[in-house]
A and B are shown apart, each in its own frame.
Chain A
Amino acid sequence: MQTANLVLEVENIDVYHGDIQALWQVSLQVGDGELVSLIGANGAGKTTLVETIAGLLSPASGTIRFQGVRLDLEPAHKVVERGICLIPEDKGIFRGMSVMENLELGAFTPQSRKAKEETFKLVYGLFPILETRKAQIAGTLSGGEQQMLAIGRALMSKPKLLMCDEPSLGLAPLVVKNIFKVIQQINQSGVGVLLVEQNVRAALGLANTAYVIENGRVAGHGLAKNLLDDERVINAYLGTA
């Protein structure tokens, strides 16, 4: 285990929704600049896991460390300041505000606000459509554009680790391809990515390593390309074609 390179370390966390336990002794690691996929069926606990890392939920036991600093006791807005940004499943767009205002709020943390102008250029470079639509009210964008806005807004916070919860949800195949390409680009620029995906084949194709979550437990993990050949994964998620 090369601890020096590890950016995110989740160790044996238990998470509850009220009285119901959603995660059981989950451990996960994301290395520096790595792209890790989180796969599993609906309701397996993938969203719960990323929301816990983001600080929206707090684990009943276990620890979460980011660059060696404990995060599990921090509120969500502090987690963002440390450099972790979550794009939630519903995208979390501020629908009544303009595209520009959405992006501005992405750079709310003090350190990202200082670099705002530069990051704006970077985001507009990745998604030129956002620049042409910057005065438009975000709720009137198409689904694909909203996903681009969500990614762009997350980049505005200058994350070291970006967590994407089901970025392909409800989007046309061509748009999905484009979104995945951008996520790969972001990763290649040195940002760690934790990708939650139902589209298992695509998720494993992009990732270095992957974790399979089943019923709130880690059912397996390993190199993504090995999981693609794993018989259990093929039977459960890829179908026997």
Chain B
Amino acid sequence: MVSQLLAQTIVNGINVGAIYGLAAVGLSLTFGVMKILNIAHGEFLMLGGYVAFWLLTLWGLDPFWCLPLVAVALFVIGAISYKLLFAGIARFHEEIRVKNSLLIGFGLFLVFPQIARLLWTGDIRAITPSYSGTSFPFLSVHVGYVPLGGLLISVTSILAVHLFLTRTYWGKAVRGTSENWKAAKLMGINVDRTYFLMFSLGSALAGLAGVLVGLTQAVSPDVGMEWTLKALIVVVLAGIGSVGGAFLSGLILGVLEAIGAIFMGPYAVALGLVIFLLILMLRPQGLFGKA
């Protein structure tokens, strides 16, 4: 019985953790590449959840099939936000850039939930296709179709980002830019455009995570900050610049929280914050980051 409970808890933790990982990768990219800490990352995630909610309720589109549409929509929203708000601070020195990006992100954190309230009211919405809640038995545990689908989507997206960064010319240019933007310019890389694309991509990844949040949990206009915090914890746990590390750290956090919930109940949420502090004190470069 106990082993079965533990196994089920770990499976649930992995499902949640995969979303943590996906939410964190976008944040890690924008912070790692352009030293912009977008604390409105969770708001982009929230918008992604609502876009999928709309697509399902208005047009009956299956949430899994509309993932590419959500990604495109959030890419555009991210692109507009970047051009209007963040691009202006890109020319500043890194430290000033981080500080100003916090202010802009905080502004978006105030504005986006209000827009969401206008469009979708303050109700908590879940994305519920016909097959949500169904599961199949696997060994001694139950595996839900929706969480399994979410896990596959997370793994695929993160693998795609990883391959993009390590195998393609553009991805290498992104890594070069994050290491030394001045040298990147001297190589003929358009650094401004790289920043623009990476911010938009980060927003698109947040949108994908938002769909999974809507499917497995629920979205409300104020859900953003919670997810920004989760993503931030995962980024700190993983260290900057490691896409695979961010995903693994997401899984670690998800499983720890799930197991913690057995013993600590609702206080398990604090586990993430404890990890956050411990990592900053003991291993500030993160588990997978370079010193």
Binding site for B on A (CB under 8 A): 54-56, 75-77, 80-81, 85-86, 88, 92-97, 101, 104-106, 108-109, 112-113, 153, 157
Q: A101-B172, A108-B173, A113-B169 are in contact. Are A94 and B191 (CB under 8 A)?
A: no
Tell me, yes or no, whether B85 is within 8 Å of chain A by CB: no
When distances are taken between beta carbons in the complex, the residues of chain B under 8 Å from A97 are: 172, 175-176, 179
| B175 near A93: Cβ-Cβ < 8 Å | no
Find residues 271-291 in chain B having any chain A CB closer than 8 Å to their own CB. 290
Are B186 and A88 in touch, CB under 8 angstroms? yes
Q: Find out whether the CB atom of B187 lies under 8 angstroms from the CB atom of A80.
A: yes
A230 to B121, CA, bound (A): 82
Q: Mark B167-190, 1 if CB is under 8 A from A, else 0.
A: 001001101100110111111111
Alpha-carbon distance between A92 and B187 when the two chains are bound, in angstroms: 10
Name the residue of chain B whose CB is nearest to the CB of A113. B169
Q: How many residues of B contact A (CB 8 A)?
A: 20
Shortest C-beta distance, A167 to chain B (Å), equals 15
Give chain B residues whose Cβ lies under 8 Å from the Cβ of A76. 185-186
With A77-B189, A88-B183, A104-B169 given, can you name 9 additional A-B contacts, CB distance below 8 Å? A76-B185, A80-B187, A88-B182, A88-B186, A94-B179, A96-B241, A101-B175, A105-B173, A108-B188
A76 and B188 alpha carbons, distance in the complex (Å) = 7
Where the two chains meet, the residues of B that have a C-beta atom closer than 8 Å to any C-beta of A are 169, 172-173, 175-176, 179-180, 182-192, 241, 290
Question: In the bound complex, do residue A77 and residue B183 qualify as a contact, i.e. CB atoms below 8 Å apart?
Answer: no
**B175, B186, B191, B192: most-surrounded residue (chain A CB, <10 A):** B186
Contact residues in B for A94 (Cβ distance below 8 Å): 175-176, 179-180, 183
Dominant secondary structure of chain B at its interface with chain A? helix
By a CB distance below 8 angstroms, the chain B residues around A105 are: 172-173, 176, 184, 187, 189
Chain A residues whose CB sits within 8 angstroms of the CB of B187 once the complex forms:
77, 80, 105-106, 108, 153, 157
For the complex of A and B, the 4 pairs showing the least CB-CB separation, nearest first, are A92-B183, A80-B188, A76-B185, A109-B188
Asked whether A54 lies within 8 Å of B186 as measured between CB atoms, the reply is: yes
Residue of B nearest to A104 (CB): B172
Distance (whole angstroms) from the CB of A5 to the closest CB of chain B? 26
Considering the chains assembled together, what is the distance between the CA atoms of A94 and B179 in angstroms?
A: 6
**Given A104-B169, A108-B169, A113-B169, A81–B179 Cβ distance below 8 Å?**
no
From B172, B180, B184, B188, contact of A81 by CB (8 A):
B188
B190 contact set on A, CB distance < 8 A: 75, 77
Alpha-carbon distance A108/B183, docked complex (angstroms): 12
Interface CB pairs A-B, < 8 A, 26: A56-B182, A56-B185, A75-B185, A77-B190, A77-B191, A80-B186, A80-B187, A88-B186, A92-B180, A92-B182, A92-B186, A93-B183, A94-B176, A96-B175, A96-B179, A97-B172, A97-B175, A97-B176, A104-B169, A105-B172, A105-B176, A108-B188, A108-B189, A112-B188, A113-B169, A157-B188
**B residues near A106, Cβ cutoff 8 Å:** 187
**Smallest beta-carbon distance A228→chain B, Å:** 31
Which residues of chain B have C-beta atoms less than 8 A from A108's C-beta? 169, 173, 187-189
Q: Establish whether residues A85 and B186, one from each chain, have CB atoms under 8 Å apart when the complex forms.
A: yes
Minimum C-beta distance from A80 to chain B (A): 4
Do A77 and B176 form a contact, CB below 8 Å, given A96-B290, A113-B169? no
Query: Chain A nearest CB: distance from B109 CB in Å?
Result: 32
Q: Which of A97, A108, A153 has the most CB of B within 10 A?
A: A108
Contacts of A95 in B (CB 8 A): 179-180
A149 CB → nearest B CB, Å: 11
